[in-house]
Amino acid sequence: MADIINKDAAAPRSDLQETTPDQEEPPHALVELIELLFFAYRDFTNDPDTILDEIGFGRAHHRVLHFVNHYPGLRVADLLDILKITKQSLARVLKQLVDEGMIEQRPGPSDRRERRLFSTQRGQKLARRLMEPQLHRINKALKLSGMESEEISRKLLYNMINTHEHEAIEELFSRQRS
Amino acid sequence: MADIINKDAAAPRSDLQETTPDQEEPPHALVELIELLFFAYRDFTNDPDTILDEIGFGRAHHRVLHFVNHYPGLRVADLLDILKITKQSLARVLKQLVDEGMIEQRPGPSDRRERRLFSTQRGQKLARRLMEPQLHRINKALKLSGMESEEISRKLLYNMINTHEHEAIEELFSRQRS
DNA sequence: GAAAATAAGTCAACATGGCTGACATAATTA
DNA sequence: TAATTATGTCAGCCATGTTGACTTATTTTC
C-alpha cells in the first residue's frame, strides 16, 4: 500500500530501465571511453575560457583565430569547411576579430574575389596564449600515457574523423609544412 | 605605388604574422593533435544529430539521457557535477525528457529530498539508438589504430581530465560495475 | 562583350543551450 | 525550532548556431 502511494527508489516500477530488457547491451569499456572523451574535451575546451572572458571573446573567436594563425592565407571558404558552420555565423566573429586588429584580410593574389586571412602580431600573440594551457594539458597527458601514446592517439583521432574529410585534412596539414 | 593602394596577398605588411617574430613556436605535431581532436569531436558529436532532429531534442537532451541511462539512480546534483552546467540549464532539458516519458524521477530511498533519475524503457531505447553510431565510429577507429589503441587512448583521455575530477570519475565508473 | 557562376558580405529573424539572480518548497540536520 | 540542503522555478540575458533572401565584386563561360 505505502509502496504504491510513496513509490520511491526502493520500489521499482515496471516501465523503468531498471528491470533491464537488455537486448544487446553495449560494451561498458567502450561506453566509458565515450564518457572519457566527453570529460576530456569538456576540460580541454575550458582551458582558454578565463583568458577569453577577459578580452570579451568567446570560443568561436578562439577557433577562428587558431586556424587563421596556424594556416596564414586561409580563405573564408576554407574556414567554413573546417569549422562546419555557416557563412553568417563565421562573419559575426570574424568581423570582431578584424575590428579588434587580430586578423587582417587581403584580396587573393590570383583571384581578387577571395579574402585571404592573416593573423596580425597581436593575433598571433593571443592565439599562442590561448593555446598554451591546451598544449600543456596534452603534453602532460602524453607523458603520463607512455611513449607510443602520441602516435597512437594521432591515429585514433584521425580514424575517428569522417573518411571523406581525410583528404582535406591532409591538404591542410601539408600547407604549413611548406 | 600600386602596392600601397592595392595591397594584396603578394604584398606583405609589417604587422602581419607572416613576418614571423617566432618567439618559441609551438611544436607542429602537438598543434595538429589539437586540431585532430577538434575534427574528431566535431564529427563524433554530429552523429546523433539526425536522430535528435527527428524527435525535437538537442545535444543537451542527449547528454542528460545518456548519463541517466548509464547510471540509473543518479541524483540531480550528480548530473550537474558531470555536465558542469547550472541547475537552470539542466532543468530545462530534464523537464522535457520527463514530459516525453524518457526519464522518471523518484524520491531517494534514504533522503527524500533527492530526486533519483531513471530512464524508462523508451528512454533506454532512445539512448542506445543515439549511442549506436558513436560506438560504431569508435569501434572502427580502434580497429584501424591497432591493438593497444583502446588501452592507450583510455589512459590519454583520463590523463587529459582535470586531476581533481579523477576521484569522481572513478566513483562514477564503479557504480555501474556493482 | 554579355551572361552566368563564384567568393564574399549583409540583413533579419529565429533556436539552442549556456549564464546570473532571486526566490520557493520540502526534507533533513543541528 | 532553526539552519541547512536538494531541488525547482521565474525572468531575462548572452553566445553562437540556423535559414532565407539579397547585394557586390570578380572571374569564367558562351
Distance from CA of A170 to the nearest CA of B (A): 11
Through-space separation of residue B9 CA and nucleotide D28 C1' in angstroms: 22
Residue B176: the pLDDT is 83
Q: For residues B155 and B160, give the distance between their C-alpha atoms in angstroms, rounded to a whole number.
A: 9
CB B123 within 8 A of CB A16: no
The pLDDT assigned to B11 comes to 43
Cβ neighbours for B2, distance < 8 A, ≥ 6 positions apart: none
Which DSSP state fits A68? H
**Residue B160 with chain A: CB contacts under 8 Å:** 40, 43-44, 137-138, 141
Mention every residue, 6+ apart, whose C-beta is less than 8 A from residue A46: B84
- A84 CA to C6 C1' in angstroms comes to 19
What is the spatial distance, in angstroms and rounded to an integer, between the CA atom of A75 and the C1' atom of C4? 23
Task: Supply the pLDDT for residue B76.
Answer: 98
Domains, chain A, with CATH or none: 59-178 (1.10.10.10)
List the A140 CA – D21 C1' distance (angstroms): 50
Instruction: Provide, rounded to the nearest whole percent, the portion of chain B with pLDDT above 70.
Output: 86
Q: Classify B155 as helix, strand or coil.
A: helix
- Determine whether the interchain pair B135/A30 forms a contact, defined as Cβ–Cβ distance below 8 Å: yes
pLDDT digits (tens, 9 = 90+) for A152-171: 999 999 999 999 999 999 99
What CA–CA distance (Å, rounded) separates B59 from B127?
12
Say yes or no: Cβ of B110 under 7 A from any atom of strand D. Answer: no
Give the bases of strand C that a protein CB approaches within 7 Å. Answer: 6-13, 16-22, 26-29
Q: Which amino acid is residue A21, in one-letter code? A: P
CB contact (8 A) between residue A119 and residue B158: no
Instruction: Check A104 against B16: CB less than 8 A apart.
Output: yes
Q: Which chain B residues are within 8 Å of A36, Cβ to Cβ? A: 154, 157-158, 161, 169
B172 to chain A: nearest residue by CA? A32
Tell me the pLDDT band of A24, cut-offs 50, 70 and 90: confident
The answer to whether strand D lies under 7 Å from the CB of residue B91 is yes
Whose CA is closest to A64, among A96, A42, A18?
A96
Cβ of A60 less than 7 A from strand D: yes
Q: Would you state the pLDDT for residue B22?
A: 55
- Measured from the CB, is A130 under 7 Å from any atom of strand D? no
Cβ of B7 and A173 within 8 Å? no
The residue type found at A44 is F
Question: CA B127: distance to chain centroid?
Answer: 15
Give CA torsion, residues A170, A176, B3, B5, to 10 deg: 70
Tally the residues of chain A: 178
The larger pLDDT score, comparing residue B10 to residue A104, is at: A104
Regarding beta strands B115-119 and B103-107, do their DSSP bridges make them parallel or antiparallel, or are they unpaired? antiparallel
Through-space separation of residue B61 CA and nucleotide C1 C1' in angstroms: 58
Q: Is the CB of B88 under 7 A from strand C?
A: yes
Which grid coordinates belong to B28? 607542429
User: For the purposes of burial, counting CB atoms within 10 Å of the CB of A121, is it exposed (0-12), middle (13-18) or buried (19 or more)?
Assistant: middle
Q: Which of A19-23, B65-69, B90-94, B141-145 has the lowest mean pLDDT?
A: A19-23
Gap between the Cα atoms of A130 and A124, Å rounded: 10
In chain D, which nucleotides are within 7 Å of a protein Cβ? 5-12, 15-21, 25-28
Task: Supply the pLDDT for residue A176.
Answer: 84
Question: Do the chains contact at B8 and A32, CB–CB below 8 Å?
Answer: no
Q: Where are the alpha helices (DSSP H) in chain B?
A: 2-5, 28-46, 49-55, 59-70, 76-83, 87-99, 121-144, 149-160, 166-175
Summarised one tens digit per residue, pLDDT across range B4-38 is 333 444 444 445 554 455 567 899 999 999 999 99
